[in-house]
Structure 1
Amino acid sequence: MTKSDPNRILRRLPLAVGGLGAVLLLINRLLTPELTESQARGDVVGVILSAVLILTGLIWQQVQPRSPDIVELIGEEGFVLAQDLPEAVKTELAWASHLLLTNTVTRSLIVYYQGKILLRRGILAAKAEVTPGPILKRVLETQKPIYLVALYVYPGRIEFDYLPENTQGVVCQPIGNQGVLILGANAPRSYTKQDEKWIAGIADKLAVTLQE
């Protein structure tokens, strides 16, 4: 989803002011019957300032915040649900995973609960088993989320071999005290604070459903 530029008006302001200044200088010159030396010097300064403003505006139009480097995750797209789950739980998991995949930068998703994988969806790695490493164990023990903003810089990334090998960012969100929602993104530093709140809310909803 393309986000609108909040600084769009600010970027266009020098262009508008410079253009307006140039037009006013031209009108003033046309309406002046006799041009004095001081006025001529003032016009030159005004033209230069207008040109600088217009040039600044044109440059600012080209300046955009750099987007995170997006990669194509390696793996096959899939949707795998544990077969022994009640239909209501399957529906809840399908709904939650769809929301996360379509409303956040998540491209690969795993629901790990009570030592079992309940769901794998999105771009899937060849390895289907989840073996909790130090990071996942810490989330389970502390019941606090961990966001690895750029996975490639963390030595502990090797434990996430059940995600696509070129996963760029990972969120491990606890599901109550018995599971973890594991999300993989295709760009580093791509989850916003709003995304993290959204993920936490969905994980809390899943915790209630899975405990019933």
Structure 2
Amino acid sequence: MASSDRNAVLRRLPLVAGALGGVLLLVNRLLTPEITDSQARADALGVILSALLILTGLLWQQVAPRSPDAVELIGEEGFELAPDLPQEVKNELAWASHLLLTNTVTRSLIVVYQGNVLLRRGILGANKEVKPGAILQRVLDKHKPIYLVGLKTYPGKIEFDYLPENTQGAILQPIGDRGALILGANAPRSYTLQDQNWVSGIADKLAVTLSNYLVDKDRASVGS
């Protein structure tokens, strides 16, 4: 049974117990030919307890958390890698993107490094180029992540034309000091703190790999 199903059952338990207790008290009262004072007091206490259980169950139903409304992202699913990457980098990008797409709410993913788009995967946006707007540029300059919990209501969402047009939430995670990992979700407020830590760890791993292969390669070409 899924966790959400177990929680739903637990939230209904007070309601069921209270209703059952009330029915049993009524049956007991109807089947008792003569009511004593002590039984009357016990019945009154039972009615109060049943009412409290029912009230608790109703309150739990009201405060039950609701999952964010998910949408179907507009675009075609794809997997694009820059053709001139070393095989080790391609393997690392494929591994990292697969983990994020299968273990988080991410539905669209882009890796930008040294001004180049290295990877696009998931539901692809219409624009293949990534021109840093104010938000992405801030991530690249400050090397700090930005989580946009409700992208559709954000005035600056126009800069994210490289993501599906109805992307609901986004994380922009720096990759070292030379790039960024851009994630798009199909529901607002859907990335948990654990998801954000997961994204940060994968970005750090990518930073090491990309720095070893791409930066060293650039230095070697300059030296030659």
Correspondences of 1:63-82 after superposition (within 5 Å): 64-82=64-82
Correspondences of 1:28-107 after superposition (within 5 Å): 34-36=34-36, 39-40=39-40, 43=43, 46-47=46-47, 49-50=49-50, 53-54=53-54, 57=57, 60=60, 64-107=64-107
Q: In the alignment, is residue 181 of structure 1 matched against residue 181 of structure 2?
A: yes
Which consecutive unaligned segments of at least 5 residues does structure 2 have?
Answer: 213-224
C-alpha displacement at 1:8, in angstroms? Answer: 5.0
Provide the residue aligned with 2:152 in structure 1.
152
- Contact preservation (8 Å) 1:25, 1:47: no
Judging changes above 3 Å, is the alpha-carbon distance between structure 1 residues 177 and 197 closer, same or farther for their aligned structure 2 residues? Answer: same
Matched to 1:201, the amino acid is G
TM-score normalised to structure 1 length: 0.85
> How far apart in 2 are the matches of 1:10 and 1:165?
38
TM-score normalised to structure 2 length: 0.81
> How far apart in 2 are the matches of 1:201 and 1:6?
30
Identity %: 69
C-alpha displacement at 1:57, in angstroms? Answer: 3.2
Q: In the alignment, is residue 15 of structure 1 matched against residue 16 of structure 2?
A: yes
Q: For each residue in 1:67-111, what CA deviation from the matched residue of structure 2 results, as whole angstroms up to 9, or x when unmatched?
A: 111111110000000111111110110010000001111000000
> Aligned Cα RMSD in Å?
2.8
- Contact preservation (8 Å) 2:21, 2:46: no
Q: In the alignment, is residue 114 of structure 1 matched against residue 103 of structure 2?
A: no
User: How many pairs were matched up?
Assistant: 210
> How far apart in 1 are the matches of 2:208 and 2:7?
38
C-alpha displacement at 1:14, in angstroms? Answer: 4.5
> How far apart in 2 are the matches of 1:58 and 1:133?
48
Judging changes above 3 Å, is the alpha-carbon distance between structure 1 residues 108 and 3 closer, same or farther for their aligned structure 2 residues? Answer: farther
> How far apart in 2 are the matches of 1:60 and 1:207?
45
- Contact preservation (8 Å) 1:18, 1:49: no
Provide the residue aligned with 2:219 in structure 1.
none
Structure with the bigger percentage of helix: 2
- Contact preservation (8 Å) 1:68, 1:188: yes
- Contact preservation (8 Å) 1:22, 1:46: no
- Contact preservation (8 Å) 2:74, 2:123: yes
Provide the residue aligned with 2:221 in structure 1.
none
